């Protein structure tokens, strides 16, 4: 590789990541920029830069720029080549992507595209273009979770974005904005705490309005989970009056628990008791981050104050935002709202229509990315079977995946006689295949969080250095082996993905066993999409690991598409 080019890249990385070790720089160059450079080469260059006064090393062998080179713009050192030279994109955009990046930023925009089509990176580059065109102004980038926040920041670096962008989860932005406006926020109520409070409120409701079959948790213990889901759905749909609840179609709520018009009056009584408790304690349900702002706006009787708005707002993975979230998000931008999403990757039970939230994205305001640049044709040939007859494919916003041009290995299938043998076989494979790789990223994923620690220990016993990681740590993960859950992979990418726990009794069996027969198809569609998302995170290879009987979602995949590992 040209040493001058390598020097420029390393100086930029020192500016972004210092203090940092040579090994980490080599890893970033490989994972983020596709430049495969040995640590020794990076070290040699760094020592030369130190003799030239362009780099310095601390007692922990971590490298950084000299103080003068790190000075903020406006200081005496602000005219150094590193500061004066604008960052250059580390990726080349297709004509299709570039056209979206350059669209007029004065209107709302929806970017639709399949997994690997570059939606996040295009949004990041579009943010950079808008920032470069603004002499002043602000830009807010919202995501669903902290892992995506970290990943978006990485996308900014890849797209050459150097301006100031506020990257936040919707929960974090909602909470901090409510507090800034003057709302005393005591904390979030999670699902477990909500369940305990609902038990108490159901008893109170029975004392006031009499017994009802939906109050009888002793006769139907599964009702407590139903109550939690119903309340989360009410929050998500931003239903604030009884007459709205009586009239609305309960889309996505299934039919396992039949709810008549009269039943809804009993539900509403409990719902209002729960809301009163939240208001009195100045807490908010974690499934209702938008409610925090909607309540503040209701109490203040106005729109979002201008000082808490932004000129431009961007939302990634918008398909997993709720209606109430978007009602708030639509109030933030002064100029434009840009969103990216893919219904095939919808892994939460949330729903909205653009009309219902007042966002116009028809015609030229909706653009499609028609190709996949991440994964291989061999992976997509298997993954697309997970979307067959899925309940999202009839939506006008659905984008059917196309086969990538990139080719690679077949999807591996590892089977064993029982679950324990399957896990051992999978861990042996990971240890043998990936132990000596330094800059490659490997995600070993399992269905449930409680499985992560045992998986980490099993791999460490086999001589691997493993990170059990979720959230922001996963989003910024650059190389090595990470152990996490299926759901945590949403919106991210890795070189290799190893999907464990695919014996049918566990996935989907353990989840579906508590689902009523009437709701089975809907739940199965969601679980299929979770696996589709997991598979399409991979840039190079996917390995499926389980015991017989194997996960039913793969039973229609032709054997010719799989490479069975003995």
- Taking the C-alpha atoms of residue 223 and residue 519, their distance in angstroms, rounded to an integer, is 15
- Taking the C-alpha atoms of residue 501 and residue 492, their distance in angstroms, rounded to an integer, is 20
Kindly indicate the confidence band of residue 255, based on its pLDDT and cuts at 50, 70 and 90: low
Residue 79 has pLDDT above 50, yes or no: no
Q: Out of 403-407, 471-475, 549-553, pick the least confident.
A: 471-475
User: Binding site: residue ranges?
Assistant: 113-120
Report angle CA 126, 130, 136 to the nearest 5 degrees. Answer: 155
pLDDT computed for residue 70 by the predictor: 46
- Helices 261-281, 223-236: axis angle to 10 degrees equals 80
Give the residue with greater pLDDT, 29 vs 99: 99
| 107 phi, psi to nearest 5 deg | -130, 160
pLDDT computed for residue 540 by the predictor: 95
User: Do 508 and 386 meet the contact criterion of CB atoms below 8 Å apart?
Assistant: no
User: Do 402 and 370 meet the contact criterion of CB atoms below 8 Å apart?
Assistant: yes
pLDDT computed for residue 507 by the predictor: 97
Kindly state the average pLDDT of the residues 228-243.
92
Q: Sort 293 into a burial class: Cβ within 10 Å, 0-12 / 13-18 / 19+.
A: buried
User: Do 137 and 106 meet the contact criterion of CB atoms below 8 Å apart?
Assistant: no
Q: For 397-422, what is each residue's pLDDT tens digit?
A: 777 888 898 999 999 999 999 999 99
User: Binding site for ATP: residue ranges?
Assistant: 113-120
Kindly indicate the confidence band of residue 543, based on its pLDDT and cuts at 50, 70 and 90: very high
Which of 245-259, 306-320, 461-475, 533-547: highest mean pLDDT? Answer: 533-547
What sign for the dihedral angle of Cα 193, 196, 201, 204? negative
- Chain centre to alpha carbon of residue 559: 31
User: Do 508 and 524 meet the contact criterion of CB atoms below 8 Å apart?
Assistant: yes
- Taking the C-alpha atoms of residue 325 and residue 108, their distance in angstroms, rounded to an integer, is 16
pLDDT computed for residue 78 by the predictor: 30
Asked if the peptide bond before residue 207 counts as cis, ω within 30 degrees of 0, the response is no
What radius of gyration do the chain's Cα atoms show? 25
User: Do 381 and 351 meet the contact criterion of CB atoms below 8 Å apart?
Assistant: no
Q: What six digits make up the tokens of 547?
A: 């015991």
Q: What is the DSSP letter of 428?
A: H
Q: Which residues contact 305 (CB under 8 A, 6 or more apart)?
A: 181
3-state secondary structure string across 172-236: HHHHHHHHHHCCCCCEEECHHHHHHHHHHHHHHHHHHHCCCHHHCCCCCCCHHHHHHHHHHHHHH
Which of 199-203, 238-242, 360-364, 394-398: highest mean pLDDT? Answer: 199-203
User: Do 422 and 416 meet the contact criterion of CB atoms below 8 Å apart?
Assistant: yes
| 309 phi, psi to nearest 5 deg | -95, 170
Residue 499 has pLDDT above 90, yes or no: yes
- Taking the C-alpha atoms of residue 531 and residue 486, their distance in angstroms, rounded to an integer, is 7
Kindly indicate the confidence band of residue 35, based on its pLDDT and cuts at 50, 70 and 90: low
User: Do 374 and 115 meet the contact criterion of CB atoms below 8 Å apart?
Assistant: yes
Residue 82 has pLDDT above 60, yes or no: no
**Average pLDDT of the residues of the chain:** 85
pTM above 0.85, yes or no: no
pLDDT computed for residue 460 by the predictor: 96
Kindly indicate the confidence band of residue 59, based on its pLDDT and cuts at 50, 70 and 90: confident
- Taking the C-alpha atoms of residue 125 and residue 130, their distance in angstroms, rounded to an integer, is 9
Q: Out of 52-61, 94-103, 354-363, 427-436, pick the least confident.
A: 354-363
Q: How far is CA 421 from CA 413, 416, 450, 480, 501, in A?
A: 14, 6, 19, 24, 11
User: Do 375 and 536 meet the contact criterion of CB atoms below 8 Å apart?
Assistant: yes
DSSP, collapsed to helix, strand or coil, labels residue 451 as helix
pLDDT computed for residue 74 by the predictor: 33
Among residues 137, 95, 150, the alpha carbon closest in space to that of 118 is found at 95
Strands 466-468 and 480-485: parallel
Bridge partner list, 416: 547
Kindly state the average pLDDT of the residues 468-479.
83
% of the chain beyond a pLDDT of 90: 47
**Strand ranges, E, within 45-114:** 56-57, 63-64, 109-113
pLDDT computed for residue 83 by the predictor: 28
Q: How many CB atoms lie within 10 A of CB 517?
A: 9
């Amino acid at each position: 590789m040209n040493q001058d080019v390598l020097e420029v890249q390393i100086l930029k990385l020192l500016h972004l990541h210092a203090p940092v070790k040579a090994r980490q720089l080599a890893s970033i160059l490989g994972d983020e920029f596709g430049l495969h450079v040995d640590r020794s080469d990076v070290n040699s260059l760094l020592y030369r830069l130190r003799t030239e006064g362009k780099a310095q090393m601390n007692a922990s062998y971590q490298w950084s720029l000299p103080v003068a080179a790190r000075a903020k713009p406006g200081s005496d050192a602000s005219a150094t080549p590193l500061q004066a030279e604008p960052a250059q994109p580390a990726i080349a955009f297709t004509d299709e992507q570039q056209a979206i990046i350059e669209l007029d930023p004065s209107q709302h925009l929806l970017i639709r595209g399949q997994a690997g089509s570059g939606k996040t990176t295009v949004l990041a580059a579009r943010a950079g273009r808008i920032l470069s065109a603004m002499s002043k102004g602000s830009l807010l980038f919202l995501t669903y979770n902290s892992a995506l926040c970290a990943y978006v920041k990485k996308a900014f670096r890849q797209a050459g974005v150097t301006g100031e962008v506020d990257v936040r989860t919707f929960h974090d932005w909602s909470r901090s904005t409510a507090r800034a406006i003057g709302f005393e926020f005591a904390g979030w109520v999670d699902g477990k705490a909500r369940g305990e409070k609902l038990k108490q409120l159901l008893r109170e409701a029975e004392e006031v309005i009499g017994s009802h079959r939906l109050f009888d948790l002793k006769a139907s213990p599964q009702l407590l989970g139903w109550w939690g889901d119903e309340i989360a759905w009410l929050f998500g749909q931003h239903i604030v009056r009884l007459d709205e609840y009586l009239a609305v179609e309960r889309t996505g709520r299934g039919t396992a628990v039949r709810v008549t018009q009269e039943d809804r009056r009993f539900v509403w009584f409990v719902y209002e008791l729960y809301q009163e408790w939240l208001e009195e304690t100045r807490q908010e349900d974690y499934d209702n981050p938008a409610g925090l702002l909607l309540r503040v706006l209701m109490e203040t009787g106005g729109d979002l104050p201008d000082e808490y708005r932004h000129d431009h707002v961007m939302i990634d993975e918008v398909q997993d935002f709720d209606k109430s979230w978007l009602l708030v998000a639509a109030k933030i931008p002064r100029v434009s709202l840009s969103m990216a999403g893919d219904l095939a990757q919808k892994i939460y039970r949330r729903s909205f229509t653009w009309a219902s939230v007042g966002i116009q994205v028809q015609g030229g305001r909706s653009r499609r990315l028609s190709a996949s640049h991440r994964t291989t044709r061999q992976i997509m040939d298997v993954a697309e079977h997970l979307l067959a007859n899925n309940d999202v494919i009839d939506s006008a916003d659905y984008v059917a995946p196309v086969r990538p041009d990139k080719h690679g290995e077949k999807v591996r299938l590892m089977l064993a006689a029982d679950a324990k043998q399957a896990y051992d076989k999978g861990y042996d494979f990971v240890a043998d295949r990936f132990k000596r790789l330094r800059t490659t990223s490997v995600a070993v994923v399992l269905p449930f969080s409680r499985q992560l620690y045992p998986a980490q220990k099993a791999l460490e016993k086999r001589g691997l250095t493993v990170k059990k990681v979720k959230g922001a740590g996963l989003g910024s993960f650059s190389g090595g082996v990470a152990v996490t859950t299926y759901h945590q992979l949403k919106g991210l990418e890795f070189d290799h993905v190893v999907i464990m726990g695919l014996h049918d009794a566990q996935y989907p069996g353990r989840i579906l066993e508590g689902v009523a027969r009437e709701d089975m198809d809907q739940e199965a569609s969601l679980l299929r999409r979770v696996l589709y998302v997991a598979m399409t995170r991979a840039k190079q290879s996917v390995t499926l690991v389980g015991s017989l009987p194997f996960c039913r979602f793969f039973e229609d995949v032709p054997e010719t598409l799989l490479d069975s590992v003995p």
